[in-house]
């Protein structure tokens, strides 16, 4: 696993909490938590959706080792994989909501995008710029000379 925020918890408690929260996010498609936890959940939930899109047996076993519940795994590999089949990434959205009374922790909703009853509509995808063909160094050199201004010859004043 990669580096996570410690969230003031021992490793076992932290991983158990993140696994449960990712499972609940997949199940309910929106949960409210603190901003720091939501940022960690976002990373893990995007990885789980990516495994669902992959659809192989190995991906299913990896997802089953992390999330809790057969219904959650089924939803990952059917509904969410189909919904995000054309999307390259960024399956979740983080919306800051309020300051929690009691400890003044900043709270946020984390939700899947492109779903019914979402809090904010997703932006349309930005069009990719057209790909330029790669040039070999000789052609690139010739083209740069073609568009570069002509070189001016220096007049030597020592000849006078």
- Give tens-digit pLDDT for 1-51: 567 788 888 888 888 989 999 999 999 989 999 999 999 999 999 999 999
pTM of the model: 0.70
So what's the pLDDT on residue 108?
Answer: 94
pLDDT at 110: 93
- For residue range 97-118, what is the model confidence (pLDDT) as tens digits? 999 998 999 999 999 888 777 6
114 assigned to some structural domain: yes
Query: Domain limits at 53?
Result: 9-120
In a domain, 130, yes or no: no
Q: 158: which DSSP letter? A: G
Contact 52/45 with Cβ under 8 angstroms?
no
Is position 32 within any domain? Answer: yes
CATH number of the domain enclosing 18: 3.90.1030.10
**Which of 154 and 37 is assigned the larger pLDDT?**
37
Residue 95 lies in a domain: yes
Residue 4 has a pLDDT of: 74
The per-residue pLDDT of the chain, averaged, comes to 83
> How confident is the model over 47-91, as pLDDT tens digits?
999 999 888 899 999 999 999 889 999 999 998 888 888 888 888
**Under 8 Å CB-to-CB from 43, ≥6 apart: which residues?**
none
Mean pLDDT of 123-138: 72
Long-range contacts: 140-149, Cβ < 8 Å, 24+?
none
Q: How many residues can be counted in the chain?
A: 160
| The two structure tokens encoding residue 156 | 């030597």
- The total of structural domains in the chain comes to 1
CA 25 to chain centre: 16
In a domain, 76, yes or no: yes
In what helix (H) or strand (E) does residue 109 lie, and over which residues does it extend?
strand 106-112
CB 48 within 8 A of CB 91: no
Answer whether residue 150 is part of any domain. Answer: no
Distance CA 65, CA 40 (A): 18
Query: 117 — alpha (psi -120 to 50), left (phi > 0) or beta?
Result: left
**Distance separating alpha carbons of residues 27 and 16, to the nearest angstrom:** 17
The pLDDT of residue 115: 75
Q: Is the pLDDT score of 143 beyond 80?
A: no
């Amino acid at each position: 696993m990669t580096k996570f925020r410690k969230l003031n918890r021992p490793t076992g408690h932290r991983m158990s909490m993140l696994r449960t929260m990712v499972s609940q996010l997949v199940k309910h498609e929106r949960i409210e938590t603190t901003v720091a936890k939501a940022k960690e959940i976002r990373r893990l939930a995007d990885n789980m959706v990516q495994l669902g899109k992959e659809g192989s047996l190995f991906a299913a076993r990896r997802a089953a080792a992390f999330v809790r519940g057969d219904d959650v795994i089924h939803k990952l590999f059917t509904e969410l994989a189909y919904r995000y089949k054309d999307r390259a990434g960024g399956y979740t959205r983080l919306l800051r909501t309020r300051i929690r009374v009691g400890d003044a922790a900043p709270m946020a909703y984390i939700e899947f995008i492109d779903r019914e009853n979402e809090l904010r509509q997703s932006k349309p995808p930005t069009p990719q710029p057209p790909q330029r063909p790669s040039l070999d160094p000789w052609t690139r050199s010739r083209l740069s000379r073609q568009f570069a201004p002509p070189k001016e010859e220096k007049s030597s004043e020592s000849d006078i």
